[in-house]
Amino acid sequence: MNELYQVYKNFFESEIFEKKFNGMWRNIELMQEVLNKKQLERYHNCSTYLKYAIVKNLEGNFVEKLVVANFCKNRWCSICNWRRSLKYRTILNNRIVKVKEKYNAKFIFVTFTIKNTYYKNLKEDLKLILNSFSKLFKYLLRRNRGILGYVRSLEFTLQKDNIEFINLHIHVLVAVTTSYFNKNYNLYLNQKDWTNLWQKYLGVDYKPVVDVRLVKKRKKSTYTAEELAVFEVVKYILKDIDLLRLQKEKRVDIFKELYQSFRNVRNLGFGGVFAPKNFKKEKEEEDLINIKDSEIKGEVVAEIEYVLKDKDSGYVLKNFKEVK
C-alpha cells in the first residue's frame, strides 16, 4: 500500500494534475451576471470534489479512473467543456471507425463562414448560419451519392480589432464515398462548388469564405487521419480565450448576448450515416464522469479523494483508502 500511495501522491503533487482541473474561476465575473444564485454556486463549486478508483489494469500498471465528481455541466465552464471534449472524442472515434468499416469512407474537412456580425445581431445570424447549413446538407445527402454524412461543430471568435463583432463559423467533418473522388461519377465538389452552394443557401450577395481539405495522416504524427479529424472537430469546444478577453475588457453586455444566443444550441450536430439512430445507444452526453477512462479493465485496489481548498492553494489530498 505504501508504494501505491507514493505513486499517486507524486502524481497529485505534479503539474499534470493541476492542469487537468484548472481555470473554473476565469469567467466568474461574467457568469455572475447571467446565473441565478443557485446556478452560480453550482458553477463556482464545480469539481471541488474528485474521487478516483485506482485500478491495476490487465498489463499490471496502476491507473486512475474518475468515479465521482461534482461537475456543474454549464456550457461556459472550461472544466466541463474539457470533459465534454473527451466524451465527444470517444463517441466520434467509435462512429468514425464504424462508418469507415461499413462504407469504406474517406473524410474531408470543410469550414463554412459568414461575414462578422455585430454582437446585437448575433441571435439572428446564428439562426441564419445553422438553418443554412441544415438546408445545404439536406440537399447534399439527398442529391449527391458521394456524401454519406457529417459531424459539425459551431465556433465563434471575437474580431481582433473590434470586440463588438463576432465571427461565426462551422467546422464540418464530411464522410464521402471513394467514388466521390472519381471523375467518372461526377460527384466531386471543388472549392468553387462548395462556395457557390454555401452562398446560395445563405442567400447573401457576397462570396463567403469556405475552406475545404482532405483529411489525411501527418507524417510525424502517431495518430491516424481519422483521429486527427476528431481532434479538429472537438477542439473548438474548449476555446475560452475570447471569454477571458471579454472579462478583461469588462464587456458583460457582449457576454450576455452570447449566453442568451447560444442557449439550446448544441455543440455538435450529426447527420446522415453519423446520426445517432445509426448506432447502438451510447452513454448520455452530459455524463461527464463515465468517458474513456470508464472502459479501463482491471482490479480496483484503492480509492483516492481530492478536495479543492481554494483557487490559490489548489487541491489537497483528502483520503486514500486501500480496497481489500
pTM above the 0.85 mark?
yes
- Residue 205, pLDDT above cutoff 90: yes
Residue 323 pLDDT: 82
Residue 275 pLDDT: 92
Q: Are the C-beta atoms of residues 30 and 252 closer than 8 Å to each other?
A: yes
Residue 168 pLDDT: 94
Residue matched to cell numbers 465521482: 68
Q: Are the C-beta atoms of residues 149 and 166 closer than 8 Å to each other?
A: no
Average pLDDT over residues 80-99: 87
Q: Are the C-beta atoms of residues 287 and 307 closer than 8 Å to each other?
A: no
Domains of the chain in sequence order: 1-73+288-324 (no CATH), 78-286 (3.30.70.360)
pLDDT tens digits, one per residue of 15-26: 545 545 554 555
- Distance, CA of 166 to chain centre: 20
pLDDT tens digits, one per residue of 258-274: 999 999 898 889 999 99
pLDDT tens digits, one per residue of 41-57: 998 888 889 998 888 88
Q: What is the largest CA-CA distance in the chain?
A: 70
Residue 288 pLDDT: 86
List, in order, residues 6 or more apart from 80 with CB less than 8 Å away: 46, 71, 72, 73, 74, 288
DSSP letters along 154-175, please? Answer: EEEEE-TT-TTEEEEEEEEEEE
Residue 299 pLDDT: 87
Residue 302 pLDDT: 87
Phi, psi dihedrals of residue 111, rounded to the nearest 5°: -120, 125
